[in-house]
Copies of this chain bind each other. A is one copy, B any other.
Amino acid sequence: MALLSDLVNLNLSDTTEKVIAEYIWIGGSGTDLRSKARTLPGPVSDPSKLPKWNYDGSSTGQAPGEDSEVILYPQAIFKDPFRRGNNILVICDTYTPAGVPIPTNKRHNAAEIFSHPEVVAEVPWYGIEQEYTLLQKDVKWPLGWPVGGFPGPQGPYYCGIGADKAWGRDIVDAHYKACLYAGINISGINGEVMPGQWEFQVGPSVGISAGDEVWVARYILERITEIAGVVLSLDPKPIQGDWNGAGAHTNYSTKSMRGNGGYEIIKKAIDKLGLRHKEHIAAYGEGNERRLTGRHETADINTFLWGVANRGASIRVGRDTEKEGKGYFEDRRPASNMDPYVVTSMIAETTILWKP
């Protein structure tokens, strides 16, 4: 299809100043991503200079048919790795025409938490480890798995290489470079324990940008799987049985935790998270009870426990952090389908603002 890709890859800067902006938002389920594009008269790098827009909320389960306009407020700009040139991706959140955030808009509340002076002062950093599974398009069975059967048991696949161990690397590698191109703070990738499952990490990102970057990284990933003819799943337990689930481990630190004496702050923060375990779990992603069983490197969903270097705990503290007396910790509870706006702001709220 050389002619089609010639057109897709046309470099417009020679012929026009106009740029294309792809507006991205989260749909009615809370995990479905939507986007549409518009032409702008010239390049834009500041989101506040982008026009608000609107879409048909009755087609995404976010508004009734007789009053269907939902307004898009641009919040962050990234370079478009698909159209390249001066074209951009714009992550937006969603409001009624009267200016009220619609129920599925989780960013609004998160942004309020992140602009609270006590939270701002602590400069909260996040590193999110997004796991995901690649599925064959027509049968919803993982990529590389024999249809009607299973691959050999887990063991060889984690960080594995080879045609019998690593399935879908093209997608993963294309995604890595596309995200770097876009300006997303993608810090790494690896093959996961279950074959056909992969992980990328975004961070360290400060405050609200963690959520923006993870959502746009998810968007780019699903656009790439679309090209590859493969389906992306963020289900936290795609295959029942002796197969790992998919999580979104969230690494977290504040200024105090990163400073001297930080380890005590970390322990106090973990205590507070333990006291609000149920509330957090309820917000950490649908279907997580199928994943957090106490097996497959998880802690049971009803149990809160933490430990150094312990992958079977709810919260894991790294050996480096223990040794240096400061650093960060990893909340291993969030599911792969969690909303990063919700999880990041809730961790900040519980550990910085909430007093037991």
Q: Is the CB of B32 within 8 A of A156?
A: yes
- Max chain B Cβ within 10 angstroms of own Cβ: one of A55, A79, A160, A309: A309
Taken together as a complex, chains A and B put the C-alpha atoms of A177 and B173 apart, in Å, by 21
Q: Is the CB of B187 within 8 A of A311?
A: no
Question: Which B residues lie within 8 Å of A181 (CB)?
Answer: 10, 12, 15-16
Q: Contacts A56-B311, A66-B307, A69-B318 given; indicate if A7 touches B224 (C-beta within 8 A).
A: yes
Among B171, B180, B230, B312, contact of A18 (Cβ-Cβ < 8 Å): B180
Number of copies: 2
Q: Is the CB of B156 within 8 A of A8?
A: no
A33 located at the interface, meaning its Cβ lies under 8 Å from any Cβ of chain B in the complex: yes
Taken together as a complex, chains A and B put the C-alpha atoms of A55 and B318 apart, in Å, by 11
A302 located at the interface, meaning its Cβ lies under 8 Å from any Cβ of chain B in the complex: no
Taken together as a complex, chains A and B put the C-alpha atoms of A198 and B219 apart, in Å, by 19
Q: Contacts A15-B79, A180-B16, A181-B12 given; indicate if A162 touches B231 (C-beta within 8 A).
A: yes
Taken together as a complex, chains A and B put the C-alpha atoms of A231 and B144 apart, in Å, by 14
A90 located at the interface, meaning its Cβ lies under 8 Å from any Cβ of chain B in the complex: no
A6 located at the interface, meaning its Cβ lies under 8 Å from any Cβ of chain B in the complex: yes
A interface SS class: mixed
Question: Whole-angstrom distance from the CB of A36 to the nearest CB of chain B?
Answer: 3
A169 located at the interface, meaning its Cβ lies under 8 Å from any Cβ of chain B in the complex: yes
Q: Contacts A12-B181, A163-B137 given; indicate if A6 touches B6 (C-beta within 8 A).
A: no
A282 located at the interface, meaning its Cβ lies under 8 Å from any Cβ of chain B in the complex: no
CB within 8 Å of B: which A190-211 residues: 190-191, 193
Q: Is the CB of A297 within 8 A of B65?
A: yes
Instruction: Give the number of residues in A that approach B within 8 Å (Cβ atoms).
Output: 95
CB within 8 Å of B: which A1-47 residues: 1-10, 12, 15-16, 18, 20, 27, 32-39
A310 located at the interface, meaning its Cβ lies under 8 Å from any Cβ of chain B in the complex: yes
Question: Which B residues lie within 8 Å of A190 (CB)?
Answer: 36-37
Question: Whole-angstrom distance from the CB of A174 to the nearest CB of chain B?
Answer: 4
Question: Whole-angstrom distance from the CB of A208 to the nearest CB of chain B?
Answer: 21
Question: Whole-angstrom distance from the CB of A127 to the nearest CB of chain B?
Answer: 12
Taken together as a complex, chains A and B put the C-alpha atoms of A37 and B137 apart, in Å, by 27
Question: Could you pull out 5 A-B pairs where Cβ atoms are within 8 angstroms?
Answer: A16-B180, A20-B180, A36-B189, A161-B226, A163-B231
Query: Nearest 6 A-B pairs (CB), nearest first?
Result: A36-B190, A7-B174, A34-B159, A59-B158, A38-B188, A10-B177
